[in-house]
Chains A and B, each alone.
Chain A
Amino acid sequence: NAGVTQTPKFRVLKTGQSMTLLCAQDMNHEYMYWYRQDPGMGLRLIHYSVGEGTTAKGEVPDGYNVSRLKKQNFLLGLESAAPSQTSVYFCASSWRPAGLTDTQYFGPGTRLTVL
C-alpha cells in the first residue's frame, strides 16, 4: 500500500514548455485534489475531482488543466509554463470531501521551477 504518490519529484521547465504531473493513489478514494504551496500563502486548491471522470475548479485554476480518466489517477497539466507557476505541488486524496473527513492523505510533493 503506497498511499499517494506523485511523479516527478522535481522538474525544471523553461517558460512556454508543457508538462504533466501524475498523482496516483491506491486506497480507492473518490476525492482527489491538487494544491500548490507557496511561501507565506499556505496551500491553495487548484482543481479537484469528486470521482472518476469528474473535475472542478478550485481557488487558483488558471493556467492548469486536469483529468481523472481512472479513479486512481489525477493528472495536472501545464500547457504553457510561466515563472509564476514555480511552486511545490501537492496532491491529496480522501474517502469523503476534504472538509468532512479527518483522513486526507497527501503525497510527497513535486517541486517545479519555471525559468
Chain B
Amino acid sequence: AQSVSQHNHHVILSEAASLELGCNYSYGGTVNLFWYVQYPGQHLQLLLKYFSGDPLVKGIKGFEAEFIKSKFSFNLRKPSVQWSDTAEYFCAVTNNAGNMLTFGGGTRLMVKP
C-alpha cells in the first residue's frame, strides 16, 4: 500500500521568509502527486499537481514543487511567504489507477506578519 509522510507538522515563519515543506511517499510504481491547501475555516483546494513531464511544477499563488523520483520526494516551496499563506498543507499521492488519493498528515504553517 502506498503511504505519504510529511515530516514537518508545524512550521512558523516570518513574512518574506522562504518555505520548503517536505513530502515523501512510498510506492514502487508510477505515481501522480498533489499538494492541497486548507485555509482556516475552508475546505481543501488544489495548489499544484505532477503527472508527468517537467519534474518542477508551478502552482497557484507562487508555489512550486519538485518531483525527485530517486528520493521519492515531492517537496513544496515558495521563495517568499505572506501572512495569507497561513494554512494547512497536504501532500497526496495516487497510482495510475487513480481511484484513491492517499494524503499525508499535513503541515500546519503559520506566517507571522
Contacts and interface: CB of A to CB of B under 8 A. Distances in A.
Interface stretch (A10-18, A21-29, A41-49, A66-74): A41-49
A106 B101 CA distance: 13
Nearest to B31: A99
Contact of A42 (B43, B96, B97, B106): B106
A98 B94 contact: yes
Q: Which of B43, B46, B90, B101 gathers the greatest number of chain A CB atoms within 10 Å?
A: B101
B1 to A, nearest CB: 8
Interface in A66-113: 90, 92, 96-100, 102-104, 106-109
Given A99-B101, A102-B46, A106-B44, A40 B106 contact: yes
A30 B110 CA distance: 36
Nearest to B99: A97
Nearest to A35: B103
Interface of B: 4, 6, 9, 32, 34, 42-46, 49, 90, 92-106
Interface string A36-74: 000011111100101000001011000000000000000
Contacts of B6: 42
Interface of A: 31, 35, 40-45, 48, 50, 56, 58-59, 90, 92, 96-100, 102-104, 106-109
B29 to A, nearest CB: 12
Given A42-B90, A90-B44, A98-B94, A59 B4 contact: no
B16 to A, nearest CB: 28
Contacts of A97: 94, 97-99
Contact of B101 (A40, A41, A45, A96): A45
A90 B43 contact: yes
Contacts of A100: 32, 94, 98
Nearest to A105: B43
A43 B90 contact: yes
A4 B97 CA distance: 24
A103 B45 CA distance: 9
B98 A98 contact: yes
Contacts of B94: 97-100
23 contacts: A40-B9, A40-B106, A42-B4, A42-B92, A42-B103, A42-B105, A43-B90, A45-B101, A50-B99, A58-B100, A92-B44, A96-B98, A97-B94, A98-B100, A99-B93, A99-B96, A99-B101, A102-B49, A104-B101, A106-B43, A108-B42, A108-B43, A109-B43
